[in-house]
Structure formats: structure tokens, C-alpha cells
Structure 1
């Protein structure tokens, strides 16, 4: 029964996070991008803090190390990730954005090999990392004439979002903090919302006056905050405990399927063949980077195991 439960939750998480790309695209019609992201995390922070307080007694930062991981999460994993993503999604489809964000596990592995003393990047892992960037090239398809053109700016911002969250996820591992993940994410969400508001205020292109309050806009913010963020992270934590980090990383490769389908269904978007091939190449890079761990995990669930 737990296998079906885990599989069902995994698909639900993929659906929630995949359709969030479509919801972002819809909401951008009514709000400036960074301010839109800030509104999302204003509301999400309430749910996440409530969940953290209920899930663990140690949910408030108590030490300098605790506040350090919260700061890293707030700036890189919440604020910069979402600022880059929301700005970038103004110029790419939901499916393409999700494919580029799927570079996150590949980039995180690369950063961990670079920044964590115990990690090293071997020959096969280096090939995997190169495959990941080749996949990005197939999605963005830069040429000599379009290298600085506007049509590459949007995917560039989305890729920066993947870089920000990957770097943040590695840096938090370098800090010796006892704060549980639930507390770290909750406080990072709250402080990240503050940083997003500060970024929005500092951008001359953004203003509260540019917000168009409609039922569709309100529902979009609620969906992203409550379902994609709060409910999504509750499911994520549950699966992380049950499946481990490698299996839950695979959600990055199911999310684009739901992103592309919802974008096609709601917004009449499409993903071309080269973008789909790029996604497959990125996933191939991930498999090479994680081949040893994947082999161990697949062996541990072999039906022949006593």
C-alpha cells in the first residue's frame, strides 16, 4: 500500500509543481513579475510557518548557523530563484521553463563537486555535466546572431533561476545547522518574500499601480501559494523521508511533462522536438552524474533481494 501511496503523492507533487509554471504564465498578465512572486510567498509563508510549528518543536532559528541557512534559502532558493523565473517566464512557454529548471539537479551535483571537499567530479560525471549544458543548448538554441538577442534573454533568466536554487541547495549543506528542513524552508519563505518586495521596489519597471485585480489573478496567487508551495512542500517533505533525496530529485523530470501539458491545454502552448530532445539530454546527464547512487538504490529495491 505504501508503494501506491508514494507513487500517488509523487504524481500529485509533479502535477502541482508542473502546473505552477502555467499558473505563473497566467498571473503575469495581471502583475509585474517580481511583485507577483512576492505576493505568492507572502501568502505561502503563512502556511509554511504554521506547518513548521505543527511538524516540529524546533522550528525557529536559534543560532547563527540557523540564521545563515535561512539567509541562504531566502536569498538564493526563494528570492533570486523566483525573481529570475518569473521574469524569464514572460518570454518562454511553461514547458520550456520547466525543462530549463530541470537543470537544477545537474547543476547542484556540479556545485557540490566544486564546493564540498568530500566530493570530486570524475570523467563520467564531467560528461554528465556537459550533457546537461548540451541539453540547455538544444532548448535555447543560441546562434551567433541571436546570442545577445531578446529571444535568449528570457531562457537565460530561467537558467539563472536554476543556478540560484542549485547553488543555494549546496551552500546550505556547508553550514552546520540543526534547524529542521521544515523550519528552514518556512523562515526562508517568509524572509524571501521580504527580499522579493525589496527587489520589486528597486525596479523602476515595477509598481503596485500595475497590478490588475481580477478573480483570475487572485485565484492564480492562491493556487501558487497554497497548493504549489504550501501543499507541495508538505508532500515533498513526506516523500523525502520515505524515498530519499535521489528519488525525490526525479520529480524535476516529471514536472516538465505536466508543465507542457497544462500550458498546451490552458494557453495553447507547445514544446517543439528539439526542446523535447534537450530535456532527454539533460535527464541523461543527470543519470550519468548519479549513476552510482541510482545503481545502489535500484539494487536495494530489487525483487530478488532477500
Structure 2
């Protein structure tokens, strides 16, 4: 009797695991979507580079406490990939934060999501892997969406400094994904992530004088925003690692594609307004992201979906 109850309990748990994995990944995308507004709030009391450096210093410390036993087996390849991608993500996050100084959090979220349809272009440039028809359609939709989203209203289109910075951020993220993808099977993701986080923090702090930034005064808002996103990065890493082993690549990647939707909803609640052209542009970008997500998931040969980088 006890054995039967135990078996039934395990079966009930197993049946609920996919739903829990889906809920966890939706929570991950919700955190990503809200991060744009959190960064926007933090920039009211801090320079963009100091905030990003502090955020990733918190994240590196937290992940170090969680995954320290693994670090003794760090390889040269993992160190090299972590340093290289750390520089790339530091550049991307710096561009994103600078862009958020002059555009809304919703617009930044949708433009940052361009990294997904831009991945095929990065593969073409660095790996000589020609995109197929579906990829080109997604790229065209993403380009049209970004043009519409950049328009301030009925007066015309204006690709300003904030938009340019954010699109450049998306391009750097796309290149970083291609680099990680080329070596993913040969490295431990947690060790590479920790090296990456440390490099991001160091590089971002070191770049502050180039942007004319000083250290801001003590602020509870700054501490909560940086600490919250930093700890959130570790929670996201652990949640993604657990959930992706229990979901198909297609389902996981399509869940990731909802990130800009969450950001748009949160931005709307906070008072962001995109206008008709911006709304149509955002819809085109989301459609291109979904198209690219299906393409990437369908091409995953190892049964694991390609996870977006921490942002």
C-alpha cells in the first residue's frame, strides 16, 4: 500500500514537472522584462557604468558562493571564453544603459530583442553559415519593426542616439551567442558564467572615467536595484539550468521569446507610450523573435535550447 502511494506520488510529481519548468522560465522572462524599468530607475541616482558594474559585482559574489566547489576545475578554454564573452557583454550592457538614458524602457526592450533575429547574420559573418529563407524573413521583419519603433510619431522616423546604442547592444549580444554556441559542448556553463560576471564588473568599473562618471552617493534605490538584479542573475542561472533539462528546445526557446512582451506590459503600466507606429514595430519585432526562436529550436541537435545571455 505504501509502495503504491509512493509510486503514485512520484507519478504526480513527474506529471507536474513540465508545468513547473514552464512557470520557472516564464518567471525568468518576467525578470528580464522588468530589468529594463529597474535599470531606468537606477539611472536616476547613478551613472550607467557604475550601476552595471555594481550589479555584476553582486552577481559574481552570489554565484561564487553558490558554485565555488566547481571553480577548482576551471580550464584555460573556459577562462578564455569567459574573458572574451565578459568583454562582449560588458560592452553590450554599457551600450544598453547609455541608450536607456534617452529612450523608454519598453522601446529598449523591443530593440534589444533584435539580438535573436540578428544571430543568423552573425553566423554568416563569423561562421560562413548562410541563413535560410525563414531567417531572412525574420531579419526583414526585425529591420522593419526597428524602423517603425524608432519613429517618435506622425512626424517621421528618427533613429536617435538611444536607439543606435540599443541596436548596437543587440548586435554585440548576437555575436556573443555565436561564440558561446561554438564552444558550449566543451565548457562548464557555471564556471564560464562566473568568469564572465567578474570580467563584466571589472571592465565596466574601469570604463567609468571614459564616460566621465564618478562614484555616486550612497542610495537605497541604487543598492536595491543593483543587488536585486545581481541576485536575480544567479536565480535565473539556476532556474534555467534546471528547467531546460525538462523542456523541449522549442518550448523553452519560445518562452524566452516572450521577454519583450513582458517588458512592454510592464512599461505600459509604468506609463510608457509607443504610439501606433511604435506598436506595429514592436509587434513585428516580437513576430521576428518568435520566427527566429522556432528556427533555432528546430536546429538544436543536442536536445538543449540555446539560452540567451544574462543581461
**TM-score, reference length from structure 1:** 0.83
Counterpart residue number, 1:30: 45
CA contact (8 A) 1:69 1:177 kept: no
Counterpart residue number, 1:221: 226
Counterpart residue number, 1:235: 239
1:62 correspondence with 2:66: no
Instruction: Report how many residues are paired.
Output: 285
Residue range with higher mean Cα deviation, 158-167 or 241-250: 241-250
**How big is the shift at 1:74?**
0.6
1:192 correspondence with 2:200: yes
Counterpart residue number, 1:133: 143
**How big is the shift at 1:248?**
3.5
CA contact (8 A) 1:33 1:87 kept: yes
**How big is the shift at 1:296?**
8.2
Of 271, 277, 281, which residue of structure 2 is paired with 1:278? 281
**How big is the shift at 1:173?**
3.0
**How big is the shift at 1:172?**
2.7
**How big is the shift at 1:29?**
0.3
CA distance in 1, matches of 2:266, 2:210: 33
CA distance in 2, matches of 1:76, 1:187: 13
Residue range with higher mean Cα deviation, 283-292 or 38-47: 283-292
**How big is the shift at 1:163?**
1.0
CA distance in 2, matches of 1:251, 1:72: 28
Q: Which runs of 4+ in 1 moved over 4 A?
A: 287-297
Counterpart residue number, 1:303: none
Q: What are the equivalent positions in structure 2 for 1:115-130 lying under 5 Å apart? A: 115-117=126-128, 119-130=129-140
**TM-score, reference length from structure 2:** 0.81
**How big is the shift at 1:177?**
7.2
Residue-by-residue CA offset, 1:41-83 (whole Å, 9 max, x unaligned): 11111112233335xx3665322x2222112221112x01110
Can you give the 5+ residue segments of structure 2 that lack an aligned partner in the other structure?
A: 1-15, 304-311
**How big is the shift at 1:121?**
1.5
SS in structure 1 at match of 2:74: coil
CA distance in 1, matches of 2:72, 2:24: 24
**How big is the shift at 1:28?**
0.2
CA contact (8 A) 1:201 1:207 kept: yes
Counterpart residue number, 1:304: none
Residue range with higher mean Cα deviation, 105-114 or 26-35: 105-114
Distance change (3 Å), C-alpha of 1:81 and 1:44: same
**How big is the shift at 1:294?**
5.4
CA distance in 1, matches of 2:273, 2:256: 19
Counterpart residue number, 2:260: 256
CA contact (8 A) 2:117 2:135 kept: no
**How big is the shift at 1:292?**
5.3
Residue-by-residue CA offset, 1:201-234 (whole Å, 9 max, x unaligned): 332x2111xx13222222111111112x121222
Counterpart residue number, 2:307: none
Name the Cα RMSD after superposition: 2.8
Can you give the 5+ residue segments of structure 1 that lack an aligned partner in the other structure?
A: 301-306
Distance change (3 Å), C-alpha of 1:137 and 1:75: same
Of 25, 36, 48, which residue of structure 2 is paired with 1:21? 36
Counterpart residue number, 1:174: 182
Counterpart residue number, 2:4: none
CA contact (8 A) 1:49 1:183 kept: no
CA contact (8 A) 1:38 1:197 kept: yes
CA distance in 1, matches of 2:145, 2:107: 12
SS in structure 2 at match of 1:109: helix
